[in-house]
Homo-oligomer: A and B are copies of this chain.
Amino acid sequence: MSISHRRRKSKGSAAERTLIHAFWSEGWAAVRVAGSGSTQFPSPDILVGNNKIKLALEVKITKDKKKYFPKQEIENLNFFAEKFGAEPYIAVKFAKEKFYFIKTIYLNKTTSSYVSSLELCKQKGCLFEGLISFFS
């Protein structure tokens, strides 16, 4: 693993932990999934739930204006969510912004990727507080 890859991974893990704290503090339960992205079965980065809903989340942070997702990553997330009985969501943090939560069906699609921008997140997604209000 290269140093830059390791640094990205560690930033990603810190972001996952931050979100897990946030969900617990709202009375939800949240876990990080072991070996996400490296096991033979599809799995999200984190799984959160309450008595009403379960969310399967991929967590991303970016310095760019857009975030691209390999097609397979989104399709795996959708597949996992369908089997588990959860809603597939991306939690994405753009530079100097809070986390936005957007359902995978609202991502834009190119030939090889899915894409989200801050504008799309503002239009079709919601902030943490909005998500919690909606599903509580």
Contact = CB atoms under 8 A, between A and B. Distances in A.
Interface of A: 20, 24, 27-36, 41, 43-44, 47, 49-54, 80, 83-86
B33 A31 contact: yes
CB-CB nearest 5 A-B residue pairs: A29-B84, A29-B83, A32-B34, A49-B84, A34-B34
A50 B84 contact: yes
Nearest to A16: B34
A34 B46 CA distance: 10
Given A34-B32, A35-B32, A83-B29, A24 B49 contact: no
Contacts of A28: 83-84
A41 B35 contact: no
Contact of A31 (B20, B29, B43, B50): B43
Given A32-B34, A32-B35, 18 more contacts: A24-B41, A28-B83, A28-B84, A29-B41, A29-B83, A29-B85, A31-B34, A31-B43, A31-B44, A31-B47, A34-B34, A47-B47, A49-B83, A49-B84, A49-B85, A51-B85, A53-B85, A54-B85
